[in-house]
Copies of this chain bind each other. A is one copy, B any other.
């Protein structure tokens, strides 16, 4: 998937949760893109069978689209947590950076980061338990 497509898919997924119903304009507003750009992007996602557009303009992720979206969002939140922990940056910065690097990191590096963050969180819990004694 392209970087931009990933971004659109993630946005559609999140807007669906937030608004219930997602249209092109909602996406354009959320991403600060023109209606035209979104229209073309939606046309591409439709060709790739990621979304389906109802007669009333409502945009729905297909089952494949939902699967993709979950993968993208999981990656995104893992990387965002990771950056917050290791680089000590704020939520907003972490999310923005995660959005970019999520697309460019190799699979093996991402897996390594996932292991790192799981170990880190476990360790934190252990520390917390000890402090509780």
Contacts and interface: CB of A to CB of B under 8 A. Distances in A.
Contact of A105 (B101, B106, B109, B110): B101
A104 interface: yes
A109 B98 CA distance: 10
A interface bracket (residues with beta carbon within 8 Å of B): 20 to 34
Which of A100, A109, A116 has the most chain B CB within a 10 Å cutoff? A109
Contact of A93 (B93, B106, B116): B106
Please state the number of chain copies in the assembly. 2
B115 A106 contact: no
A13 B12 CA distance: 43
Contacts of A115: 87-88
A94 interface: yes
A96 interface: yes
Interface of A: 83, 86-89, 93-94, 96-97, 100-101, 104-106, 108-113, 115-116
> Lowest 7 CB-CB distances: which A-B pairs, in order?
A87-B112, A100-B104, A101-B101, A87-B109, A86-B116, A88-B112, A97-B109
12 contacts: A83-B112, A86-B86, A86-B113, A86-B116, A87-B109, A87-B110, A87-B116, A89-B108, A96-B106, A97-B109, A100-B104, A101-B101
